Amino acid sequence: MRSLHDNVRSEEALKRKCERMATGDIAVFLYSHELEDERYPDDCPLKTERVLRTREIVSSLGLLSDSRVEEVNFAPAGRSDLEAFHLPAYLDALEAAAAGHHRLEYLEMGIGSKDCPVFPDMYSYGQLACGGTLTAADLITSGDAHIVFNPSGGFHHAGPAMASGFCYLNDIVLGCLRFTEVGMKVLVLDLDAHHGEGVQEAFYDRNDVIYISLHESGRTLFPGTGFEREIGADSGRGYTVNMPLPVDTYDDAYLECFQQVVMPLIAAYAPDVIVMELGMDALSGDPLAHLALTNNAYATIVDNVVEFGTPLLATGGGGYHPDNTARSWAFLWGVMSGGVAIDHPPLALGGVFLESTEWHGGLQDRTQVPTVKQRRSVEPAVANTIERIRRDIFPCHSISS
Ligand SMILES: [Zn+2]
């Protein structure tokens, strides 16, 4: 397999980024100090401090100080914002449960399940995440920013009246709706290890939002959806694209999916905005998922997406190794904002060294060479998925396969 790494040369990338910055495109990092007071329960794998940690790293590396970069604060989403997708009765239940008035019947809405426990910040954290992603959408629709990163967003599992997989409120759907309200065509690229069934279902019969997901197969991972045969319905047929991946999928195989399927779809669909869910749970060593990426794969994809020149709204998502997640989000922010060329991560910008004692190279993971056994199990499965997608989806977009 040919790697996209081969196509990316740091000098060229830097030159293009410099040109982009010269045109006045602004990249915004979204952060709210209110996030620092919000917590999931201690025994929940989702650690909200990942976002604080990400900000500490990007700040210490000078990745918020460029003149083309801004850090922007945001407010929690209001009730009417949330009702653009979520049902009033569900929002009432969330508010009541968070205030300590939990009722057994709420379990039918996923509230109080193992993955969606009841705790005081369950509603307010979701409101903040949604507020961030809606602020990102507004910055893009108004033309005030070209690239916006909301690391506190990315809750792609939640349904209109269903909490699922640590997600109570679906900021991705709300952000997409904010774009479609003003007639923008949206391409969602979901790189979380889990399939984002909440986003898929929200737009399953629509063609103004194309949902593309690379994720660990539902055969081995929650939520058990996102197979190749799920391609959308009615006028949305061909506008849902699922690439389920086998256990141990490594960078080159993942990048082959991106190159063979996602790149042609971005070019053919020509979206007005790209929304990326950057869950970091596909990284090797994540305690919940079983893929084997390094953050170089994510960075290569982000770099290539940015090259399209389309406005980009990027969110966080999963990622249950907090240090790896924060370090990788910082790396990706550097790539998307133009502060880092992917072949030359900042090892010690301005004399500031990263604090991690586990890893001495900076933000970028070491390259991992897949084993023969890994290649034998992953390569045929990925090739088969690529072939199916090209056969079933590409004709809907007049792409020759
Ligand atoms: Zn996930």
Condensed to tens digits (0 to 9), the pLDDT of residues 7-64 reads 444 566 566 555 655 566 899 999 999 999 999 999 999 999 999 999 999 999 999 9
C-alpha of residue 193 to centroid of ligand 1, in Å: 5
Domain presence at residue 98:
no
Confidence (pLDDT) at 25 = 86
Residue 263 pLDDT > 90, yes or no? Answer: yes
Mean pLDDT, residues 235-244: 98
- Which residues are close to ligand 1, an ion, with C-beta < 5 A? 192-194, 279, 281, 318
Domain presence at residue 283:
yes
Share above pLDDT 90 across residues of the chain, in percent, rounded to a whole number:
86
C-alpha of residue 317 to centroid of ligand 1, in Å: 6
Give the CATH number, domain containing residue 130: 3.40.800.20
- 118-164 confidence digits (pLDDT tens): 999 999 999 999 999 999 999 999 999 999 999 999 999 999 999 99
Confidence (pLDDT) at 8 = 42
Domain extent at residue 277: 4-91+126-397
Active site (annotated) includes residue 33: no
Mean pLDDT, residues 95-114: 97
Residue 83 pLDDT > 80, yes or no? Answer: yes
Residue 201 pLDDT > 50, yes or no? Answer: yes
C-alpha of residue 329 to centroid of ligand 1, in Å: 14
Mean pLDDT, residues 334-340: 93
C-alpha of residue 392 to centroid of ligand 1, in Å: 26
Domain presence at residue 105:
no
Confidence (pLDDT) at 343 = 65
Residue 277 pLDDT > 50, yes or no? Answer: yes
Residue 80 pLDDT > 60, yes or no? Answer: yes
Domain presence at residue 181:
yes
Domain presence at residue 187:
yes
Confidence (pLDDT) at 362 = 84
Residue 185 pLDDT > 90, yes or no? Answer: yes
Confidence (pLDDT) at 357 = 35
Catalytic residue of the set 156, 157, 195, 215: 157
Domain presence at residue 115:
no
C-alpha to C-alpha distance for 357 and 142, rounded to whole angstroms:
42
Confidence (pLDDT) at 13 = 55
Residue 348 pLDDT > 60, yes or no? Answer: no
Domain presence at residue 110:
no
C-alpha of residue 58 to centroid of ligand 1, in Å: 23
Q: How confident is the model at residue 291 (pLDDT cuts 50, 70, 90)?
A: very high
Residue 341 pLDDT > 90, yes or no? Answer: no
Q: How confident is the model at residue 342 (pLDDT cuts 50, 70, 90)?
A: confident
- 210-225 confidence digits (pLDDT tens): 999 999 999 999 999 9
pLDDT mean across residues, the chain = 92
Is pTM beyond 0.75 here?
yes
Confidence (pLDDT) at 140 = 97
C-alpha of residue 189 to centroid of ligand 1, in Å: 14
Mean pLDDT, residues 187-212: 98
Domain presence at residue 118:
no
Domain count, the chain: 1
Mean pLDDT, residues 53-76: 95
- 369-380 confidence digits (pLDDT tens): 999 999 999 999
